[in-house]
């Protein structure tokens, strides 16, 4: 299992992409998950890209953004084409997005049908570029629970539609992540790993809070110190160990937490192999 850092973890820091690549390499990571905002802002400096990252023995594991599925078709496609071009430049075939702006229970049949139609359009385009669209399991989207995610995959029925399996958010939906893993296994192309001290504190990950520089970080804990049992999950995930994972940390002490979490993930995977 290749591990990546997320550049979004450093969104409120004054680190350059050079410093992040150096950190990732020296700490034994294999990749960088590049936040769409960062990729767009680096576009004016084209020497940064796949070849540059390979000089650090790193790869771009995924380009993570938020495609405007509800926008007019022309606007949606223009943004998709832009992200596709950036993904090519950075040498990744994986583009991550959310599906919709409200939960599956609050989405009407008509709205769901339109979102599925949009997904097919995007997948057709990305397939022509040799790329995949990864929908993230996330609250307040159409993939906020396992049944709706399975339904979405069936309804879209496209080989370029894949899943970014966020373990915490699956657990948040009150589904056992290992059960969900077994159901979604054929469709998973990436994992997000993060944890929380208790279910009562899950609101700390709401976008309005987690993206705010002054937002609360209470309840965010290192990967193996929270409510989700990652030793158990990683033991179950050994059958698909070829899937990459990103350590998604939004709290303080970013570097030290990421280093410790990466060491613990490697330890857990080594125990599984033994």
State residue 273's pLDDT score: 63
User: What's the whole-model pTM score?
Assistant: 0.95
User: 218 near 201, Cβ under 8 Å?
Assistant: yes
Segment 145-160 mean pLDDT: 98
Concatenated DSSP letters for 114-179?
Answer: HHHHHHHHHHHHHHHTT-EEEEE--TTSTTSSHHHHHHHHHHH--TTEEEEEEHHHHHHTTS-HHH
87 pLDDT higher than 90 = yes
pLDDT by residue (tens digit) across 25-81? 999 999 999 999 999 999 999 999 999 999 999 999 999 999 999 999 999 999 999
Distance (Å, rounded) from C-alpha 183 to C-alpha 152?
A: 13
User: 91 near 53, Cβ under 8 Å?
Assistant: yes
Residue 37: CB partners within 8 Å, gap ≥ 6? 11, 65
Three-class DSSP category at 97:
strand
Q: What is the mean pLDDT of the chain?
A: 95
61-76: string of b/e by CB count within 10 Å (b at 16+)?
A: bbbbbebbbeeeeeeb
Distance (Å, rounded) from C-alpha 67 to C-alpha 36?
A: 10
State yes or no: is 138 an active-site residue. Answer: yes
Residue of 38, 138, 158, 169 with catalytic role: 138
pLDDT by residue (tens digit) across 110-137? 999 999 999 999 999 999 999 999 999 9
Distance (Å, rounded) from C-alpha 165 to C-alpha 136?
A: 6
Residue 268 CB-density burial (10 A; 0-12 exposed, 13-18 middle, 19+ buried): buried
Weakest-pLDDT range from 18-22, 27-31, 158-162, 203-207: 203-207
What is the CB neighbour count within 10 angstroms for residue 51?
A: 11
Residue 244: CB partners within 8 Å, gap ≥ 6? 1, 2, 3, 4, 30, 31, 61, 62, 189, 190, 191
Distance (Å, rounded) from C-alpha 87 to C-alpha 90?
A: 5
């Amino acid at each position: 299992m290749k591990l990546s850092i997320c550049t979004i973890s450093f969104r409120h820091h004054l680190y350059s992409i050079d410093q992040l690549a150096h950190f990732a390499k020296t700490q034994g990571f294999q990749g960088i998950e590049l936040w769409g905002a960062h990729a767009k802002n680096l576009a004016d400096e084209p020497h940064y890209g796949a070849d540059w990252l390979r000089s650090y023995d790193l790869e771009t594991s995924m380009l993570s953004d938020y495609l405007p599925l509800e926008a007019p078709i022309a606007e949606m496609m223009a943004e998709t084409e832009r992200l596709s071009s950036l993904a090519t430049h950075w040498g990744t075939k994986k583009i991550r997005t959310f599906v919709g702006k409200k939960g599956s229970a609050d989405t009407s049949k008509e709205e769901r049908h339109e979102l599925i139609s949009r997904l097919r359009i995007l997948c057709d385009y990305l397939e022509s570029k040799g790329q995949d669209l990864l929908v993230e399991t996330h609250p307040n989207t159409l993939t906020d629970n396992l049944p709706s995610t399975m339904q979405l995959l069936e309804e879209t029925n496209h080989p370029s539609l894949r899943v970014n399996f966020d373990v915490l958010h699956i657990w948040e939906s009150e589904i056992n992540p290992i059960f969900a893993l077994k159901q979604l296994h054929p469709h998973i192309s990436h994992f997000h790993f993060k944890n929380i001290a208790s279910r009562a504190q899950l609101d700390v990950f709401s976008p309005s809070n987690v993206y705010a520089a002054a937002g609360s970080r209470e309840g965010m804990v290192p990967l193996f110190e929270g409510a989700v049992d990652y030793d158990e999950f990683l033991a179950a995930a050994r059958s698909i160990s070829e899937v990459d994972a990103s350590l998604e940390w939004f709290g303080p002490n970013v570097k030290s937490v990421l280093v410790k979490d990466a060491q613990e993930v490697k330890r857990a995977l080594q125990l599984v192999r033994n």
